[in-house]
Chains A and B, each alone.
Chain A
């Protein structure tokens, strides 16, 4: 997902370091926030962990919103005709790597669910059961799928030379 602004049709210029920091924040705050927010209900009047988790998820969405308008996201999501040959070559590499990572995560998830079924009587492993759990997994998968190619681009791109 790339959000184009009228003022910056090529995406907001962002240093690779800032983009990498935002991607790291996105990929750590979202899952940790979900775990804290959806953890066991302690019955407290003020579920402080749940509030902290919600704030972490909100911060991750903020990072996502900033990245959605970045030049990295533009390169990852623009139609081919709007990119030059170097951008296309980088995008193709990034998309291939992102696909490999996503396929690996899906395979590991299936392996986990398989092991959980096999060892259900000995080790009670966690599994998503409530709608909120599936909701968190769904949006996590969407965010990862939408941003992972741009994240690989952020790690591949060198800072631009001064003109």
Chain B
């Protein structure tokens, strides 16, 4: 899904999605819920107060256990 597709789905400017990805903008609860709804995922899977671990980090952690 492109930024534009997601932006159209939740009714924001595509640049706003870029701001969210960079962590430069904290969305309102309403927008966070809309975005989580697009992915049919709980909001805490999409947004977190702590930075998410990268995919490489997750794979590395799994390999160590």
Question: How many residues on A have C-beta within 8 angstroms of the other chain's C-beta atoms?
Answer: 12
Set of chain B residues within 8 Å of A158, measured between Cβ atoms: 18-19, 22, 24
A161 and B3 contact, Cβ closer than 8 Å, known pairs A86-B12, A86-B13, A86-B19? yes
A84 and B11 contact, Cβ closer than 8 Å, known pairs A163-B3, A163-B4? yes
A-B Cβ contacts below 8 A, count: 37
Interface residues of B, dominant DSSP: helix
A17–B16 Cα distance when bound, in Å, is 19
Q: Does A121 contact B (CB under 8 A)?
A: no
Question: How many residues on B have C-beta within 8 angstroms of the other chain's C-beta atoms?
Answer: 18
Set of chain A residues within 8 Å of B11, measured between Cβ atoms: 84
Binary per-residue interface labels of chain A (49-88) against chain B in the complex, 1 for a CB within 8 Å, 0 otherwise: 0000000000000000000000000000000000111110
Q: Counting chain B CB atoms within 10 Å of each CB, which of A86, A157, A160, A163 scores highest?
A: A86
A86–B12 Cα distance when bound, in Å, is 9
Binary per-residue interface labels of chain A (78-113) against chain B in the complex, 1 for a CB within 8 Å, 0 otherwise: 000001111101000000000000000000000000
- Chain A positions near chain B (C-beta within 8 angstroms): 10, 83-87, 89, 157-158, 160-161, 163
- Chain B positions near chain A (C-beta within 8 angstroms): 2-4, 11-16, 18-19, 21-22, 24-25, 27-28, 31
